[in-house]
Structures are given as C-alpha cells and as structure tokens.
Amino acid sequence: MNTVTLANDSMTFPSSGTTTTSSVNKTDVDIHSVVEELKRAKQAVGKPFLDNPKFKTRDVNVYYNQTKQAIFNASLDIGRNEVIAMIGPSGCGKSTYLRCLNRMNDTIPGTKVTGDLLLDGEDIYAKDQDPVLLRARVGMVFQKPNPFPKSIYDNVAYGPRLHGLAVNRSELDDIVEQSLTKAGLFNEVKDRLNSPGTGLSGGQQQRLCIARAIAVSPEVILMDEPTSALDPIATATIEELIDELRSSFTICIVTHSMQQAARISQRTAYFHLGYVVEVNDTNTVFTNPGHRLTENYITGRFG
Amino acid sequence: MDIGHHTSQQYNHELEDVRNMALQMGGLVEEQLNKAMRALMESDSQLAEEVVNSDYKVNRLEVQIDEVCAKIIARRQPAASDLRLLISIIKSVTDLERMGDEAEKIARYALTSQGTSSPASLHSSLRHLGNEVRDMLRDALDTMARMDAEKAKVVGQSDERIDAEFDYLSRELLTHMMEDPRNIKQSLNTLWCARALERIGDHSRNICEYVIYLVEGKDVRHTAPKNGTIPAI
C-alpha cells in the first residue's frame, strides 16, 4: 500500500465496491436442523436457574388444539424483584410462555399446559388453585392500553373491590391514590378522577392499566409488549416506571424492542421456535451471547 | 467471526468498510515503521523526511475511523459481536495512531543523527530489535485481519522477547556511554529509538488483546502474571 487516498469528506458510506461481502441474500434457513439442534439441547444456554426464585418453571409444554405445540420443554427461573425480558422472533412462544404464568391460556379452548410452574414453590396449575386469585397475585398489562369504560377512579378501584381489599371508602381512596402515584399518574389525573379512563392519552392509559394491575398488590406483573403502541416519550416514562416498580414486584416483560430489553431488564430469555434457547444476565446476552441463534437475533442477522 | 449476513445489507457494508479502513490504517503504520527503520539504518534523510511528512495520514485515518464508528453506533445500536467489533476498532486505532507517532520519532532521530556513526555491534542490535518489532506488528495486524484469536495469543507473547531485547540493548548502550562520555549524545539517540520500538511492541500486544476480546468476548488486559505472558484461556 503506497498511497492512501481518502477524500476529506469521505464520511458517507460507499454503497458498494470496497466490501468483500458477497451479495448472499439467501436466507439459508434450514429449520429442520435448527429444530433438531434445539431438541438435542437439554437446557437453555447461560444461567436459566436461580437460587430461591420467585417463579420456577420446568419442562413446560404448551399445546393448542392437541395438534400444534407452541412451547417445548421450557425450563427457567424468574428471580425476585427482577425484570426479566423475553425476546425472540414472532411466533417463538414468548407470549404464550408469559401467559402460562397467570393461566391466561386457560381462556383459550383446547389449550393444554404440562410441566411444573411453581410460584414460591406452589403449583399454580394445581386442582385447588383458583385462577382468579392467582391473577390477583400475578397481574398483567397488555400491548394495547385497555382501560375499562369507567372512570379513572373505578378502573383502579375495580380489583380491590372485587377482592374485598378495602373495608370502607377512605381505605379504597388510599389504595387508588397510592396505585396511581406508584404508576406515576396521580399528579396528572388527581383533579379528574371521575372522568372516563378512555379519555386519557395512550401513555396515560397504559399507566392507568399499570395502576389497575398494582392496585391489588400483586407479587408479579406480566407485561406483554406494554409500550409498542406508545410514542418514545411515553415509552421512556413507562420504562422508568418499570425500573421503580422492580423494588416492590417481580416483572416479566415480553418485548419486540431489543434495545428496550437491554435498557430495562436484569435478565433476558431468548425464545426461538418454541424453545428457550438462552437465559442469562442482560449484560452478557447483549455483549457476548452464548448461543449462535441469540447472536443472530440481537445483531439483526438471518441465521 | 462473521461480519456479514445481517438482514440489512447496508449494515454489512458499513461494518466491512470501517474494518477495511482500520486495516488500511494498520498497513500505513506498518509502512511508516519500515521506512523509518530503513531511514535510520541507512542514514537516508530523504526517506526520514517522507515518514515525518506522512504521519498526518495516520492521524487523519484515526479521526475518520472514530467518526464512522460513532455514526454506526448512533444509527445501528450494535450488539454482541458487532458491538465488540466496533469497540475493538476504536481502541485499535488509538494504538495504531501512537505507533505512527513512534515511527515518526524514529524518523526524526534518523534526521538528527545524520553524519554520526555508532559501533557496528550497537547498529546490529538496533536492527535486530527493529526486525523483531516489525514482525510482531505485521503478525498482530494479520490476526486483526483474520480475526484469529488463537494466533493473537501467540503473537501477544512476542512482546516479552522484545522487552528482553530492549533491556539488553540498554545495557549495551550504558557500557558504551561509560567507556567514553563523548558517546553519550549518539547513545541516547539510539536509546530513544530503541524505546520507540519497544513501545510499538506494547501497542502491538494491545491489538492482539483487542482481537481476543473481539472473537471470544473476553477482556484479557492486565490479567497477565508477572512474567508478562497472555494467559491461556
């Protein structure tokens, strides 16, 4: 190399020419061999298990209509007061897995869940387990804000009333105020608690749903893409809120945004084709993942 | 290691391009060092001038590469191996730029020591050290180009040999200075050159460490035991 010719303004990327990458555009996906590989792996890469977890799940299998299996032998632990992010491509089973944790899949006819799902050592699929009580312990926030067509106050008060958590009006007022405060919404709505919840902005509605979820003092909050319908500022508010809630609750979040998983979670689980491929602390997953499929997904490669 | 195969072809190009720029910078530094050593050994003042006047190219590449890396980070939020690639490039170019400065120093000493001569034994010791450093830099750049962590572990260890050579040459120079104080000026010049070469060895070792970080995701800096070898991983 004798001469170096670099124009001073050569800061734009050449569209082609200097690279050695061939124009390989074939997706090259041999699903069969990937499935075989996942089947052979006895457990997820990384550190799926913890001492004294909040949720302990082992060999979880989920079938829809007997014929279609959505989750294969998922085994992982969810720690206390941690945010765990479930990531993976569409249809990988992360939402299905999340919905097992408070038996939301019970509502879909023909669904069968096998394996052990233990909340503080207690089998949540036991015969004498009441799903309604379980869902008070394991709350849920959905992708689209879905406040009840009621006032802001009644949205939050609905759960505590249902479960008889307040003996009088002033206690209920306290619960509503505390829940809205924890959800970072109280100051914005304190003067209009009786106006409809549906009249709030998208980000406010989602925080109202979070307030509704925490009003019954759950132990775990499940969030299924809670910010995908929100703008970046509302998203940042919710993310900040999630981090604050972590001290009081265990939070499992399904997200399509890898940056969001990287920002807010302590641990990350990567799902692929219904298998848990890798579970590890988030720093490791995003700087030095242990499985090729995780690497391909988080770096935006087709594998 | 695989740079390509992103869903975004443009991203592949961006990473490949910045990597090529870093390798080009490596090649340039290698050339600067070789020319500086030749100028010193053969008292070629014209060649020494050329080296001094070319250092700006190395500096300019450093700035450009950092800028491109910042742009990719801002636009792509790289993760995992892509992130490690960019971090290792950003760090490598800092070391490469310093090596460029060391080569320039050698060229400047070549200019100031015109017309003086040192004993043949010192001359050949310095040449020997220069060859060792040249080989180490070439091998380090080679591991960077091939992203070969195994070879990087081996190459990183050559730094030990270079340090030993440098110590040996320092003692030789000390003796030479004690023999006759009139030798001091020339001996100090030689010592500064040897020191510059030894520093290039250190920077080459750093590059080997970045290659290991890039490929294996392990940071091996400052983990060496007292004898200075890169530990087996």
Tens of pLDDT, residues A251-298: 999 999 999 999 999 999 999 999 999 999 999 999 999 999 999 999
Distance from CA of B121 to the nearest CA of A (A): 32
Residue whose C-alpha is closest to residue B150's, from B54, B227, B64, B220: B220
Asked if the C-beta of B12 comes within 8 angstroms of chain A's C-beta atoms, the answer is yes
Q: What is the mean pLDDT of residues B136-146?
A: 97
Q: 0.80 exceeded by the pTM? A: yes
pLDDT at B127 over 90: yes
Which pLDDT value is given to residue A15? 41
What residues have CB less than 8 Å from A187, skipping those under 6 apart? none
Q: Which residue of B has its CA nearest to A24?
A: B5
Transcribe chain A into DSSP letters. Answer: -------TTTTSPPSSSS------------HHHHHHHHHH-SS-EE----SS-SEEEEEEEEEETTTEEEEEEEEEEE-TT-EEEEE-STTSSHHHHHHHTTTGGGGSTTEEEEEEEEETTEETTSTT--HHHHHHHEEEE-SS----SSBHHHHHHHHHHHTT--SSHHHHHHHHHHHHHHTT-HHHHGGGTTSBGGGS-HHHHHHHHHHHHHTT--SEEEEESTTTTS-HHHHHHHHHHHHHHTTTSEEEEE-S-HHHHHHH-SEEEEEETTEEEEEEEHHHHHHS-SSHHHHHHHTTB--
For residue B71, list chain A residues with Cβ-Cβ distance below 8 A.
11
From chain A, the residues in CB contact with B61 under 8 A are: 4, 6
Query: What average pLDDT does the segment B196-212 reach?
Result: 97
* Averaged pLDDT for residues A42-63: 95
User: What CATH number does the domain located at A43-143+219-298 have?
Assistant: 3.40.50.300
Q: Is pLDDT above 60 for B213?
A: yes
Q: Kindly state whether B61 is in contact with chain A, defined as any CB-CB distance less than 8 angstroms.
A: yes
pLDDT averaged over every residue in chain A: 88
Q: What pLDDT was estimated at residue B68?
A: 97
Sketch the domain layout of chain A as residue ranges: 43-143+219-298
Q: Which of B16, B60, B217 sits opposite A287 (nearest CB)?
A: B217
Tokens of B80: 């995992």
Tell me if B9 and A25 make a contact (CB, 8 A cut-off). Answer: yes
Is A287 in contact with B84 (Cβ distance < 8 A)? yes
pLDDT tens digit sequence for B40-89: 999 999 999 999 999 999 999 999 999 999 999 999 999 999 999 999 99
pLDDT in tens, A77-93: 999 999 999 999 999 99
Domain boundaries, chain B: 9-216
pLDDT-based confidence at A16, cuts 50/70/90? very low
pLDDT digits over A98-151, tens only? Answer: 999 999 988 888 899 999 999 999 999 999 999 999 999 999 999 999 999 999
pLDDT for the residue A5: 38
User: Among all residues of chain A, which has the CA nearest to that of B11?
Assistant: A300
Q: Give Cα separations from B95 to B25, B58, B98 (angstroms).
A: 11, 11, 5
What pLDDT shows up at residue B76?
93
Interface probe with A: pick from B2, B5, B57, B71, most Cβ of A within 10 Å: B5
Report the C-alpha gap between B202 and A172 in whole angstroms. 69
Chain A residues lying within 8 Å of B64, measured CB to CB: 6, 10-11
Domain covering B9-216, topology? Methane Monooxygenase Hydroxylase; Chain G, domain 1 (1.20.58)
Q: How far is B165 from chain A (nearest CA, A)?
A: 29
Using a CB-CB cut-off of 8 Å, the residues of chain B touching A299 are: 6, 78-82
Percent residues over pLDDT 70 in chain B: 95
pLDDT at residue A27 tops 50:
no
For the segment A214-236, what is each residue's pLDDT rounded down to a tens digit? 999 999 999 999 999 888 988 99
Preferred mutation among B13, B29, B56 to probe A, highest tally of A CBs within 10 A:
B13
Contacts of B55 in chain A (CB under 8 A): none
